[in-house]
Structure 1
Amino acid sequence: MGQGKSQFTEEELQDYEDLTYFTKKEVLYAHQKFKALAPERVGHNKNAKLPMAKVLQYPELRVNPFRDRICKVFSSSNDGDCNFEDFLDMMSVFSDAAPKPVKAEHAFRIFDFDGDDMIGVSDLREIVDRLCGPEQKLGNAEMQQLVQNILDEADLDDDGAISFAEFEHIIDKSSDFCQAFRIRL
């Protein structure tokens, strides 16, 4: 009978429901998924922290070319290691219920590799490299042309980088952004 009992108090579940885009039932399901990544570590310790390598075993993260960046952006310690609250926040933002502006803010942070609050040339190169993968790596001339094409389209103030406002403008024009920016529980 005790196996079905939640590790969380009703108050904790209410807080999680209030702070995420999940219902209490979905919070409990997310905890099951988190626990399944390292049952020996999580067990009855609801405050357990999993190393990024364990979190990256989550099926939809495993195949995502930005998996390490996703973990680092959502990690409260900024090293990619995640506790349940970090994992819950990540799953909430990637859920269908999260609004577009919240998704855009996190996507921007994921793509801002150098953390300068701009998506510059080096960030764009990294994004393209990850999307192409090692087997389809672009040559230098192709990469330069593609990065320039992106900047020509997105860099509205011609400062050589994409600001968050410019990124939001791109996202607003993208009808499938929310569908692409999701991970299922």
Structure 2
Amino acid sequence: MRSGFDIFKTSISKSLIQQYNQSSKKLLEEIISQMPLGESQIKEKLDDGETVQLRIENNGSQLTFDFQGTTNSKKYFLTESAVLGCCLAALKCFTNSSFPINAGSLECLKVNTPTNSWLSSRYPSPSFLGMSEGTRLLSELSLTALSKLGRQKDLAQSSMSLCLVDIEFQSGAHFYDTTPGGVGARNG
């Protein structure tokens, strides 16, 4: 970061960083203000019986991702910062916009995770499956909930939802393949 400022002969100061954060906040507020107002809710049961529950609310300048009602898990464990990353990824994908992620833009997002859930895991919980399968699941769920805000964008199932084909022949040989995801249907 410092080398970019050196090119323009600008020094980094507390004031400059504050201006950058304020500009970032205004940019994300503008993006959020163009989204439909209101709230959407989504609830999904996982394979092992765990529940993920999400309520998204847009008040015009701030988005709230509220995961209250999400249960604990025996399989997935995520940290609160990973949950925030999933919400940011879903927002960037949904709005198809580019905005810096810093203290300013983070003021526009509020993420609530229940203390005793797989979304606020602590050591010694193993986070490997959470960081691979769990983040995909949570990002997709967040993106789906965002699309339900105003129904202006209907999204197709993520291609990350892998469909596997395994055919066993009489000889004992196997044919194993994955089917790739497609693109969602569009009106017109």
Please report the TM-score for the alignment, with normalisation by the length of structure 2.
0.22
- Greater strand proportion: 2
Larger radius of gyration: 2
- Greater helix proportion: 1
